[in-house]
Each structure stands twice: as structure tokens, then as C-alpha cells.
Amino acid sequence: MTEKNIKIVVDNVSKKFSIGFKEKKGLLARVLELVSGVYREKKELDVLKDVSFEVGEGEVMGLIGKNGSGKTTLLRIIAGIYQPDLGSVKTNGKVVYLSGLSQGLSPKLTMRENIFLMGSIMGLGQNDIKKRFNQIVEFSGLKDFTDTKVLQFSSGMVTRLNFSVTINCLEHHKPEILLLDEVFNAGGDLDFQSKGIEKMEELIKGGATVIMASHNLEIIKKYCNKAILLKNGQAIKIGPSEEVVGEYIKK
């Protein structure tokens, strides 16, 4: 593969996070901590350790592994949200990171107001949002709640709205590199999940280079050319998705 065709290069990336913990201590010790301003010790947790791989133009790479294996951290480093402690990441093209977690909505605003707010944050002009407004509402299935404040929404409704706005903004931007973090599990009921998978499939088949993290192994096998198995922050196997999924199942 020529350098021109390589869209993502991850070279010996490592990342640590500092976490706090408390030991069981007596009253006097806790008072002394309060007076001194020192409440807890810190320890470092290796989240990623020497991870390296390349993804070529138009390839779809899967990320699999148990919770805490480093999938989200790796995607966020590639997206530029986190910086690696060691190693480097190079991307060639416009990068968009999409998480299945419902983020970015303001609970005190109505659904209508949130659509315009999120659309603006994601780079759409007011006219572009107006053109896509009905499409966003229809996709979400929340037409009856357009002027309801999001704080009155259930968690599933919030996820639907977040996903609907984000996916329509992605269609507008046409990203060259798409990073998907558990988006296929978003949306609550099965009908909406099916709609979400169909919409994401359109984006994937549109020629973007994709890295997707998912616990849905059938999705990984169906859409990914290759996959990476992460365990305790290390890439323990990289190869064809069927083989990597098989290795994960064995473990």
C-alpha cells in the first residue's frame, strides 16, 4: 500500500491515566489529610501500550475487546481529543468521531432548539439545518415532542435525538475518516437500531475510511475488512475480522 493510500497511521501509541484511590484510615488520619489538603494518593493506569497499525483508504477496521480494553481511548486519540503519552498518530483526511453515548444536548432547551444548537456546533449553517430539520425529526421518530424540553425526555429519546442530529450532520460533511464508538448499540428499541445500522451502512459504503468499536461481533464480521483485538491496552491480534473475532471468542 502506497503512502498516498494510507489514511491512518498509529505508531507505538501509549496512554496512561492517573486515578485516585483511598485507603481505609482512622479519624485522626482523615483530619490530618483535611488540614494538609492532601486527600488521596495517585496511581497510573496503562490504558494503551505500544499500539501500532495502519488503515488504508476505503478500509473498514473493527476494534473489539472487553470494557476497559482501551477501545474508546484509542478512537479519541485518533480523533485528536486525547494526546498520546508516547508514539504518534497521523491522519490523512477530514476526521469525524461519533459516539453512541448521548452527548451535546442541552436539557433546558427544546428538541427544536437543540437541533439548531447541535447542528451549529457540528459546523452546519442555519440554512443547512433548516433544510435538514424535517429529516432529522422524522428519523428520530419524535415528531410529537419537537417543542418539548429535552429534560423531559427518557434516556432512549435523548439517544434517538442525539443520533439523528449527528448522523444528518455527518451526511452533510461527508467525512473521509469516520470513527464510530459503539454507535450500533444506540437508540433504544430494535426498530430504531435497525434504522441506525442502515444509515451507518450508507456512510460506510460511501467510501470513507472507517474504524468502528463495537461489542456486536456480527456487525464487525459483516462490515470490517480487518479487526484489532485489544486486551488490557495492548493489540494482541490484528488481521482479517473473522480470524480476530474467532480469537476473541476463544478467550
Better-predicted residue by pLDDT, 168 or 229: 229
Q: How far apart are CA 49 and CA 227, in angstroms?
A: 17
Residue by residue, DSSP assigns 165-228 as HHHHHHHHH--SEEEEESGGG-SSSHHHHHHHHHHHHHHHTTT-EEEEE-S-HHHHHHH-SEEE
List pLDDT tens digits, range 203-249: 777 788 999 999 989 989 988 999 999 999 999 999 999 999 999 99
The H or E element containing residue 162 is helix 155-173
List pLDDT tens digits, range 86-133: 999 999 998 988 776 556 789 999 999 999 998 888 888 999 999 999
Q: Is the pLDDT of residue 68 over 70?
A: yes
Could you tell me the fold of the domain covering 3-15+51-250?
Rossmann fold (3.40.50)
Instruction: Point out the least confidently predicted range of 47-56, 63-72, 86-95, 179-188.
Output: 179-188
pLDDT number for residue 92: 94
pLDDT number for residue 151: 95
Q: Which residue has the cell 470513507?
A: 208
Residue 27 binned pLDDT confidence (cut-offs 50, 70, 90): low
- Give 111: exposed, middle or buried? Use CB within 10 Å, 0-12, 13-18, 19+: buried
Instruction: Give the global pTM.
Output: 0.78
Query: Which range, 176-180, 192-196, 244-248, has the best average confidence (pLDDT)?
Result: 244-248
Q: How far apart are CA 209 and CA 8, in angstroms?
A: 9
What is the residue extent of each domain of the chain? 3-15+51-250
Q: Which residue has the cell 432548539?
A: 113
Task: Confirm if 223 and 204 have CB atoms less than 8 A apart.
Answer: yes
Q: Which residue has the cell 444548537?
A: 117
pLDDT number for residue 1: 53
List pLDDT tens digits, range 149-165: 999 999 888 888 988 88
DSSP at 108: T
Residue 192 binned pLDDT confidence (cut-offs 50, 70, 90): confident
